[in-house]
Amino acid sequence: MKALKDLVRPNIWELSPYSSARDEYSGHTAHVFLDANENPYNHPFNRYPDPLQRELKKLVSKRKRVKEEQIFLGNGSDEAIDLIYRCFTRPQIDNVVAIEPTYGMYHVCADINDVEYRPVMLDDHFQMSAKKMLESCDRYTKVIWICSPNNPSGNLIDRDEIEKVLNTFDGIVVIDEAYSDFSSQTPFRYELNNYPHLIVLNTMSKAWGCAAIRLGMAFADKEIIQIFNKVKYPYNINQLTQEKAAEILSAPFEVDKWVKTLLQERSMMMAAFKMLPCCLHVYPTDANFFLAKMTDACGIYNYLVEKGIIVRNRHKVSLCGNCLRITRGTKNENEQLLSALRNMN
């Protein structure tokens, strides 16, 4: 395994970060704050938020069972994805390897950062071959992207294959577990202590019902988190988001109820889809959505749009010809979708 220093971009390793007023004094005893050029009026929004979100991380730590120093919070997972490129990959020199098809942001962020993106096709069951992934790496491969449960296919990636990658690859392995709240498999965030170069992504946008507040999480060894902290914008998580996230993390029972309901709806919807004449196959899923192969994805998509129902057309995505991705909604929304499809001629 490489030393972290050999994986991080040299300019980032050497970087002296911006030191904000709130970094330099973060104690609790002071009561007169004349250090940050804030307006003394309009409490509480006059004050800069905690740059390291310490109170919020305590709650995340408790719920996710990851140590506070192993947590990075970002403006959505998207911030963490972009940071991974900016910290580890040198533009026009390094490359990354990723499963294909998967979440589109890994590729977009590679393009933005001018880093070569090497997609490695999954098999017909959307499963990954560790061997194929590793064969696509060379000495400039800094990061491997795995998403499990995967988007858009919904399935978990085989654990043994992921472990082979973790045990063999000497760079950074990212496992995006945006949908792990819907899965019964043990999440990889519990493996952080076994794999110092593992980064696990989580988000408040899916099971936690908070896509609007933009809060993503990266869990990793504290050395990696320290690098993210020095590169991120000083106040990347605003006060409103920190407060709202703390509120929902303090009352997680609601979330558990949502997940349970969505899982019940999942089996009902999948069974109903299998009965539809316009549906050829329903792929197994561990997420709050499923992928369905249809007779004519584009035609059905347009028909549904006319009815005011929007699903995701994945027809043009690798291995997803004629596939629609269906997110589970409320019981009523799911029934509207089914009834539209049943009445299609």
Q: Which residues bind ligand PLP (CB under 6 A)?
A: 76-78, 103, 147, 151, 176, 178, 203, 205-206, 211, 216
Q: Are 276 and 342 in contact (CB under 8 A)?
A: yes
Beta bridge partners of 217: 73, 202
We find the least distance from the C-beta atom of residue 216 to ligand PLP, in angstroms, to be: 4
In whole angstroms, give the CA distance from residue 65 to residue 189: 8
In degrees rounded to 5, what are phi and psi of residue 282? -115, 125
Q: How many Cα atoms sit within 13 Å of 227 on the Cβ side?
A: 25
| Amino acid, res. 52 | L
DSSP code, position 68: G
CB of 211 to ligand PLP, least distance (A): 6
Rounded to a whole number of angstroms, the minimum distance from the CB of residue 103 to ligand PLP is: 4
Choice between 8 and 285, CB closer to ligand PLP: 285
In the bound state with ligand PLP, the residue whose beta carbon lies nearer, of 120 and 178, is: 178
Classify 21 as helix, strand or coil.
helix
Provide, rounded to whole angstroms, the least separation between the CB of residue 38 and ligand PLP.
Answer: 29
Specify whether the backbone of 173 is left (phi greater than 0), alpha (psi in -120 to 50) or beta: beta
What is the closest distance, in whole angstroms, from the C-beta atom of residue 210 to ligand PLP in the complex? 9
- The residues, any chain, with a CB within 8 Å of residue 60's CB and separated by 6 or more, are 66, 68, 71, 73, 217, 249
Residue (201 or 341) nearer to ligand PLP, CB: 201
> Sign of the CA dihedral 143, 147, 152, 158?
positive
* Number of Cβ atoms within 10 Å of the Cβ of 209: 14
**Closest-CB residue for ligand PLP?**
76
* Nearer to ligand PLP (CB atom), residue 113 or residue 203: 203
Shortest separation between residue 20's beta carbon and ligand PLP, angstroms: 24
What tokens appear for 24 in the block?
């330099």
Nearer to ligand PLP, 105 or 134 (CB): 105
Closest CB 49 distance from ligand PLP, rounded Å = 19
Strand pairing report for 71-74 and 216-219: antiparallel
**Closer residue to ligand PLP, CB minimum distance, 17 or 119:** 119
Contacts of 1 (CB under 8 A, 6+ apart): 170, 196, 197
Smallest gap from residue 177 Cβ to ligand PLP (A): 9
Token pair of 221 as six digits: 């060894």
In the complex with ligand PLP, the residue whose CB is nearer, 208 or 301, is 208
319 — phi, psi (to 5°)? 65, 5
Q: How many CB atoms lie within 10 A of CB 65?
A: 10
Tokens of 200: 């696990």
Nearer to ligand PLP by Cβ, of 158 and 223: the residue is 158
